[in-house]
A = this chain, B = another copy of it.
């Protein structure tokens, strides 16, 4: 199986280094799985060439397309659409649109990525705006949460579209026939959270194709109360990042406590293998690579602050989606459902 990926080599706090290094890690991992990968790197040729010198094995799998323009975290997404016709992010997205690559990956400015992807790749019929969907570890395994920051608008139809997208993604990725869907609110009681979210819930209750659980609260996310967590991009992003920050906080507090007593230090030495495998399991880099859901083609968003390993996980998530026909067809599922629904109405 041959997969070609378009990488925005200039996106992310540590780009282009993490992109080059991450691509090498993902290349090796894919070759071991019998998947043949080619990369298109879009960005500053001389900087990337210099980095590639340290990765001779990778060089033969890379096409380098030079551009001077790139989008920073401080770029205004709306200006980016009109100016910067040759930004590394934009060229990478266009490559997917033109069928040269099967998926695009960027760790760059989320707002610009969303706006450019929407304009160039187009949204699915029935979807107004794409959403960022990511896997969330829970006590029961994995759930899917969306939107994680693409779209801060709130309307009953936004929530409905998010629920439909989450439903089909969970069906394909989590292999659950009727995934349960929860709407994130500030109380699980029906009267809470304001008129808008109440209307959204009414809307979802009336849809027989969805297994709508009702409202859930923030503490239900990692308990695994539902398979799909639906929320607006503002609350979703804050929830995701609060959780990440809490993991770091707890890890540091626990480490300091253990290192503060001789009993703790001794116990650490004894349990080191167990603790290291626990650390690995909870490492947020392993959950890096969120899907820009609702587009006609595949776009993956990496955390901007990730490192090489984290970026390699985002690449591998793109490869998984391209290589898995079932997951690949999520977009078609969503479109079919929403178009048929519109015809019926």
Contacts and interface: CB of A to CB of B under 8 A. Distances in A.
Contacts of A1: none
Contacts of A77: 191
A153 B36 CA distance: 52
A189 to B, nearest CB: 5
Give chain A's interface secondary structure class: helix
Range for the number of chain A residues in contact with chain B: 35 or more
A303 to B, nearest CB: 10
Contacts of A261: 271, 273-274
A310 interface: no
Interface string A109-145: 0110000000000000000000000000111000000
**Taking each of A187, A221, A267, which has the highest tally of chain B beta carbons within 10 Å of its own beta carbon?**
A267
A139 B239 contact: no
Contact of A244 (B152, B218, B257, B263): B218
Interface in A187-205: 187, 189-194
9 tightest CB-CB pairs across the interface, nearest first?
Answer: A218-B241, A267-B271, A219-B245, A222-B249, A267-B267, A218-B242, A186-B237, A264-B274, A267-B270
Interface of A: 73-77, 110-111, 137-139, 149, 152, 184, 186-187, 189-194, 217-223, 231, 233-235, 237-250, 252-254, 257-258, 260-261, 263-264, 266-268, 270-275, 277-278, 281-282
